[in-house]
Amino acid sequence: MNGAQSLLETFVGAGVEVCFTNPGTSEMHFVAALDTEPGMRAVLGLFEGVVTGAADGYARMAGKPACTLLHLGPGLANGLANLHNARRARSPLVNVVGEHATHHRALDAPLTSNIEGFADPVSAWIRVSESAASVGRDAAEAVQAALSPPGQIATLILPADTAWNDAPGSATALTPPGLEPTNPDAVTGAIRALLSGEPCTFLLNGLGVSERGLQLISRIAQKTGARVLGDTFIARIPRGAGRFNIGRLPYFAEQAEEALVGTRHLILVDTKAPVSFFAYPGRSSELTPEGSQVHQLSLPGEDTLSALDAVVEGVGASIIEPEVSELARPGAPTGKLNPETIAQSLAALMPEQAILVNEATTSGFAIPGFTSRSVSHEWLDLTGGAIGMGLPAAVGAAIACPDRRVVALQADGSAMYTIQALWTMARENTDVTVILFANRKYAILQVEFMRVGAQNPGPKAMNMLDLSRPDLEFVHLARGMGVPAVQATDAASFHRALAESFATPGPYLIEALI
Amino acid sequence: MNGAQSLLETFVGAGVEVCFTNPGTSEMHFVAALDTEPGMRAVLGLFEGVVTGAADGYARMAGKPACTLLHLGPGLANGLANLHNARRARSPLVNVVGEHATHHRALDAPLTSNIEGFADPVSAWIRVSESAASVGRDAAEAVQAALSPPGQIATLILPADTAWNDAPGSATALTPPGLEPTNPDAVTGAIRALLSGEPCTFLLNGLGVSERGLQLISRIAQKTGARVLGDTFIARIPRGAGRFNIGRLPYFAEQAEEALVGTRHLILVDTKAPVSFFAYPGRSSELTPEGSQVHQLSLPGEDTLSALDAVVEGVGASIIEPEVSELARPGAPTGKLNPETIAQSLAALMPEQAILVNEATTSGFAIPGFTSRSVSHEWLDLTGGAIGMGLPAAVGAAIACPDRRVVALQADGSAMYTIQALWTMARENTDVTVILFANRKYAILQVEFMRVGAQNPGPKAMNMLDLSRPDLEFVHLARGMGVPAVQATDAASFHRALAESFATPGPYLIEALI
């Protein structure tokens, strides 16, 4: 057994079953070891942003880490933006980054770089394996670190000789630590606030928006009249029929402030006090209403559900049933194609247990409303604002859940950051439907340009904010990577295409001209 | 005037005339300022790897920096791989990375990250602007740092409020330091070695492969019988008719060792002692022949040409004319399409002063030989091994040299890392011909897999090393981004397509099925 085989055997023993890869020469022994380790599935991405985004989507749905395989510092660098998103999603994830052999590192060959430097901003745990003998143990610790609540990124840097030299064997899995207890004073304070008769608002994320967390929150809200909002961006939330469907804190700061007006007690569940996404001239970035009291019921990594159980009991909501949506699908839309008719078609047609990966940005505004009474489904957001997560995360979610349909709600501008994901969708024959919202501009930037006070954009500025001249032709792009695709220009043709995709195994892209 | 306007005015005053951009909300004031600064051209890339690779290609041909405009940490992260290449090319380059407003940074909003951490491994100079008043001075220092020999990467991090607040004015350009003197003992030692009658080999890079450097080296070589080799990868080298065309140190370590056999004195000109690109089990990574003496004639950043002048004089080669190639173009090839016939067509057809950007990897082996007696041209290599440089650098070179034809020699696997560059080629109507070598595999990895001793790849390993299932269809990909494209399957059709592209302004992609 060599170091690479020790690594893979340790991973599989610790429950890591999928590796998203974009290897190079220094990773060839890892690649060779794939054929001696039947428990590890390897999925190739043509660009590292696909690899890391897929690992994020996989982790969100599987609840456990995939590993990535990346080639030296530049390979890791290409994956960093989606690792930033994964860090914000608190996804458990193990990176394996190949490195030059230990005796080669000091020679400053062309591909030499400061890999630890690149890894540091996104990694909670970093290690450089020192020898083949230590690789198994390092791998076990990496998985343990990734699974440490609330979910972390572990980066294991693997010099080539630690992969090719003989190793004594694999290492046994290490148990990750459990959730930390919440602060009991916060529970007491929250109960007192909820019973005070003063206006209370819950702000939720993490375990607070798990299936069970939402049920507990619903009981509390019915009993006390508290308002409930989710964070603007959430890694994974169950929605639709049979679920307690919650609203979200709006993206734009003034709308978020408006949504929180009148709140006397802000109860934070597995999240922190709200701040605006960007700063704007003359505006505060902090969104906690002035004069309100903040109750930090739980922090990420803490035992949110036990705290919510205690609050349910404390407010006397134990016998209340959660309030859940009834199934009520709309009919087929007609007329012009626009974000509303797309949302209507989706709500009308999507299959039970669909997974919606949302990177639709400005074009997705109608989808939450239309889908909240559609079939039960799950919803994954862009958590870190680094666009280019949608298509890769859809790949990863589909690989984690091969029996479910994944729908990538994808804006055109952000699609182009990791468009290579289409090829992996085709190669792995994933059941992913890509709804490509083609408005042919960076619509969010045209809005934000005004909002930051930059006034009317001139022609050079406008040139930076639109995607025309030439138009992107996503049907061609998809075909170039083996994904069947069609363009839809009215509501009926979109509806037909969506129905066809949901009835057909494998990937499909619908370019919706809106 | 606000900080962003101060920044742009300072840049233009310091000779920075092009900005490659992929902006977000925090960069909107920079974008707005483009319309008040007529001296700055802005070129949009749909992905940051295109932006930084274009800035590298521009810098190599313009001999001065472009600036990039990148959105926060993840935007910089997406550009790091090509910044790694630019650092290895010693390209002068100024990054402007937007950051949250100073009062927003501590709030840990979703897009907050450690930007300095991401920048550090590739940047020789990093600054976070503290106020709008300091932005002009910071910009002037950034350009100065970028232009400091031998060429460096400067990264200026610009909090949004330093862009939108009032600034007192722009700053005047700062003179960069000059070249350092070389070590006079090395000059003396090299002369003594060259006159000793013992076998001498020059290894060249940087100023040693400039037009004038090559002329001086040619004189010395004719006089002394010294052998001349260039580094395996060179940022920019003039070639073809009228030039002294040199061989290169081979990529594979055993071939490089073979090329240096018998060398008694290794004279290093603007480069360091040779090392293998990767390490291999049981092989040394250092390529300097055992028992040979190393003469470090000049280091990067030193006055190489003066040292070479002194050597020319010292060996008595002042009156010798440089040995240059005569023009001798081949005829049109016929028969099957393969790397040799492609090289032959290129040598037969390419226009005077063409710029060849080489990321052809294994498919490009025949091109140096065929083109060395074609018209005078320039050749740009992938200097840092981070694939995905070719298409972006071709964009940048074309924008630096609008009167010259750029030919991107592009392998299929590496093309996919920054395929979005095709869109910028189309939007800017650059005269770029892309020769896309489609062998539908990571051919270099299939070679390296054996060479590192990983033995015969099994089916899972092979799955990671080829690009089939599905095949990439580059004609579709190009059309999807507005670039006319054609597929060539035999030598004659390739030749016709190449001739048509050279005769037609604007970009063109030829997918060569080899």
Q: What is the pLDDT of residues A200-213, one digit of tens each?
A: 999 999 999 999 99
Interchain pair A31, B457: CB under 8 A: yes
Among B44, B114, B461, the residue with its CB nearest the CB of A463 is B44
Interchain pair B117, A113: CB under 8 A: no
Residues 294-353 of A with CB under 8 A from B: none
Q: Please report residues of A whose CB lies closer than 8 A to that of B45.
A: none
pLDDT digits (tens, 9 = 90+) for B234-245: 999 999 999 999
pLDDT digits (tens, 9 = 90+) for B259-285: 999 999 999 999 999 999 999 999 999
Interchain pair B32, A454: CB under 8 A: yes
Q: Is A275 part of the contact surface with chain B (CB cutoff 8 Å)?
A: yes
pLDDT digits (tens, 9 = 90+) for B61-97: 999 999 999 999 999 999 999 999 999 999 999 999 9
Residues 175-204 of B with CB under 8 A from A: none
CA B350 to chain centre: 20
DSSP character for B398?
Answer: H
Distance, CA of A281 to CA of B166 (rounded, Å): 12
The encoded tokens of residue A28 equal 């060839």
Mean model confidence pLDDT for chain A? 97
Distance from CA of B38 to the nearest CA of A (A): 10
Among A36, A281, A470, the residue with its CB nearest the CB of B482 is A470
CB neighbours of B293 closer than 8 A, spacing ≥ 6?
B193, B264, B265, B266
Secondary structure (3-state) at A70: strand
* pLDDT value, residue B432: 98
DSSP character for B92?
Answer: -
* pLDDT value, residue A160: 97
Structural domain boundaries in chain B: 3-164, 184-315, 339-513
What stretches in chain B show pLDDT beneath 50?
A: none
- Reference B410, options B505, B334, B339, B317; nearest CA is B339
CB neighbours of A87 closer than 8 A, spacing ≥ 6?
A122, A124, A152, A153, A384
Mean pLDDT of A376-388: 98
Whether the domain at A3-164 and the domain at A339-513 fall into the same CATH topology: yes
Residues 345-404 of A with CB under 8 A from B: 383-386, 388
Residue B440's φ and ψ, nearest 5 degrees, are 60, 40
Residue of B nearest to A161 (CA): B281
- Which of A48, A72, A80 is the best substitution to test chain B (most B C-beta atoms within 10 A)? A80
* pLDDT value, residue B456: 80
Q: Please report residues of B whose CB lies closer than 8 A to that of A434.
A: none
Residue of B nearest to A281 (CA): B161
Interchain pair B84, A114: CB under 8 A: no
Q: Please report residues of A whose CB lies closer than 8 A to that of B34.
A: 458, 460-461, 464
Q: Is B429 part of the contact surface with chain A (CB cutoff 8 Å)?
A: no
* pLDDT value, residue B215: 98
Distances (CA, A) of B168 to A291, B4, B150, B156: 39, 12, 33, 19
Interchain pair B464, A31: CB under 8 A: yes
CA-based R_g, chain A, Å = 24
Mean pLDDT of A340-363: 97
pLDDT band at A486 (very low <50, low <70, confident <90, very high): very high
Residue ranges in B261-366 assigned as alpha helix (H): 304-315, 339-349
pLDDT digits (tens, 9 = 90+) for B416-466: 999 999 999 999 999 999 999 999 999 999 999 988 888 788 999 999 999
Residue of B nearest to A42 (CA): B460
Secondary structure (3-state) at B116: helix
* pLDDT value, residue B118: 98
CB neighbours of A40 closer than 8 A, spacing ≥ 6?
A8, A11, A12, A16, A17, A18, A19, A34
| pLDDT over 70, % of chain A | 100
Model ipTM? 0.98
Residue of B nearest to A463 (CA): B44
Distance from CA of B109 to the nearest CA of A (A): 6
What's this model's pTM, rounded to 2 decimal places? 0.98
Among 3.40.50.2000, 3.40.50.2300, 3.40.50.1220, 3.40.50.970, name the CATH number for the domain at A184-314: 3.40.50.1220
Q: Please report residues of A whose CB lies closer than 8 A to that of B475.
A: 480
Distances (CA, A) of A53 to A50, A84, B242: 5, 10, 50
Among A25, A164, A420, the residue with its CB nearest the CB of B416 is A420
Strand partners, A52: none
pLDDT digits (tens, 9 = 90+) for B454-467: 878 899 999 999 99
| A513 φ/ψ sector (left φ>0, alpha ψ -120 to 50, else beta) | beta
The encoded tokens of residue A341 equal 């008719």
Q: Please report residues of A whose CB lies closer than 8 A to that of B46.
A: 413, 416-417, 467
Q: Please report residues of A whose CB lies closer than 8 A to that of B465.
A: 31
* pLDDT value, residue A454: 84
Residue of B nearest to A414 (CA): B46
Distance, CA of B56 to CA of B484 (rounded, Å): 25
Among B24, B32, B384, the residue with its CB nearest the CB of A455 is B32
* pLDDT value, residue B455: 77
The answer on pLDDT for A455 being more than 80 is no
* pLDDT value, residue B454: 84
Interchain pair A464, B74: CB under 8 A: no
Distance, CA of B433 to CA of B486 (rounded, Å): 11
Residue ranges in A353-483 assigned as alpha helix (H): 367-371, 390-400, 412-415, 421-427, 443-451, 459-465, 474-480
Q: Please report residues of B whose CB lies closer than 8 A to that of A109.
A: 275-278, 285
Distance, CA of B114 to CA of B117 (rounded, Å): 5
Q: Please report residues of A whose CB lies closer than 8 A to that of B110.
A: 88, 233, 277, 383-385
What's A3-164's CATH class? Answer: alpha beta
Interchain pair A164, B453: CB under 8 A: yes
The encoded tokens of residue B186 equal 């090395």
Q: Is A282 part of the contact surface with chain B (CB cutoff 8 Å)?
A: no
Q: Is A133 part of the contact surface with chain B (CB cutoff 8 Å)?
A: no
Helix (H) or strand (E) holding B231: none
Q: Please report residues of B whose CB lies closer than 8 A to that of A276.
A: 104, 109
Among B44, B47, B476, the residue with its CB nearest the CB of A417 is B47
The answer on pLDDT for A138 being more than 80 is yes
Q: Is A39 part of the contact surface with chain B (CB cutoff 8 Å)?
A: no
Give the CATH number of domain B339-513.
Answer: 3.40.50.970
pLDDT band at A491 (very low <50, low <70, confident <90, very high): very high
Mean pLDDT of A440-467: 92
Residue of B nearest to A28 (CA): B449
Fold of the CATH domain B184-315: Rossmann fold (3.40.50)
Q: Is A506 part of the contact surface with chain B (CB cutoff 8 Å)?
A: no
pLDDT band at A131 (very low <50, low <70, confident <90, very high): very high
Mean pLDDT of A64-82: 98
